[in-house]
Amino acid sequence: MSDPDQPDSAGATRRTDPTGAAVAPLWRAAQAFRLVTLLYAVGQQVASVPNYHNQRLSWVLIALMAVWSGVSALMLSQWHFPEVARRLRVWVVLGDHVVVILLIASTRLVADYDWYHGHQTLPTTLWATNAVISAAILRGPVAGVLSGLLIASVALTVRDQWGNDVWTDATVPVLVSVGLALGLAAETARRAQGQVERAVRLTAAAEERERLAREVHDGVLQVLAYIKRRGTEIGGATAELARRAGEQEVALRVLLSEQGARPHGEPGAEVDLRPLLTAQARPDVSVSTPGEPVLLGRAVAAELDGAVRNALANVAQHAGPEAKAYVLLEDTGAELIVSVRDDGVGIAPGRLAEAEAEGRLGVSRSIVGRLAALGGTAVLLTEETGGVGFGTEWEFRIPLRGVAR
């Protein structure tokens, strides 16, 4: 992806505008259409001018229309400085509507009632469509439809055709349809451009994570594994160093796995929680999930998945080499319950509080803090429920009401 700050030939800074770039082809096509409709309006003027009672004024108005068409086309095609162009387009589109309305109204100054009541207005309906097109590209389908209704209403008022002829005249449906179609096209283009930008950013982030993971694996993780192995072999005072190195190795592996498994896409989209949990199954980890999808918002699912990963990391570190873990997912309809149980050596009463007092905040932040941020609870079942000596169990509960599903 290109650098958002690019110096131009004059040394100034030029910033990219993703949403503006998305509709740039529409703006260019609109200006080509503007020039085509200008030629049509001039041709219509040549054919109609003999019927005007003020022919000189009509040519002056057509000249003003031609000048405005050229000026507005140039300003709307300005892309060198997006921040300026964005503000400029708003004023040009407003000016477009003012000019169109004034030119339509001026029809009564150059022609009599019998003429303007039964014919097109002075700048023609086709040229007046440019204002509708610009509004639709600038602000979307709603602005396009409203602009179409405004221009059509002015034309019908000037021609004095409010009545039964309104429903048979093509002015209203043509202008409204153009505004709706171009507005939808502009919105679709902006949405597609946004999705492409997000995909590019996510791809770049994923590649960077993979690169860092490789470097960490080739360096830090191998060193930690070596310290753990050698410290265990040497024994004595180095055994504690080996244990700490082993803990950090597991924690770092969990962190890298969380980054790699983080669900991507739009923040508001839903994902099935089951595949995230079953991906953690290993010979020493069993995962049980419901048969039906358990849908959660991406952010909520990622946080809950992270809490389970940290609980399993604690099992690997502290439950003993022969310990096995069991993950159970339940959806009661009112709340979501995830249980992470192991059959290891258990946790002594007060050990978590001691660890937190020592500054080791892995459980309090990575597990309890995560669930609290989601509006849920994380309860550790230990001695009081047969935990110590018989393993431990984490029970995560998240109320589904008010949680993005």
pLDDT at 330: 92
Query: Is the separation of the CB atoms in 258 and 306 below 8 Å?
Result: yes
Calculate helix-pair angle for 55-76, 18-48, nearest 10 degrees: 160
Enter the tokens of residue 15: 């910033």
pLDDT at 195: 82
pLDDT at 108: 86
Give burial (CB, 10 Å; 0-12/13-18/19+) of 3. exposed
Pairing of strands 285-288, 325-331: parallel
pLDDT at 279: 82
pLDDT at 63: 92
Distance CA 197, CA 191 (A): 10
Sites in the chain below the pLDDT cut of 50: 1-16, 260-265, 359-361, 385-388
pLDDT at 253: 64
pLDDT at 254: 58
Which residues on adjacent β-strands are paired with residue 396?
338, 378
pLDDT at 353: 55
Per residue in 280-320, pLDDT (tens digit) is: 877 788 889 888 888 888 888 888 888 888 888 888 877 77
pLDDT at 78: 66
pLDDT at 214: 67
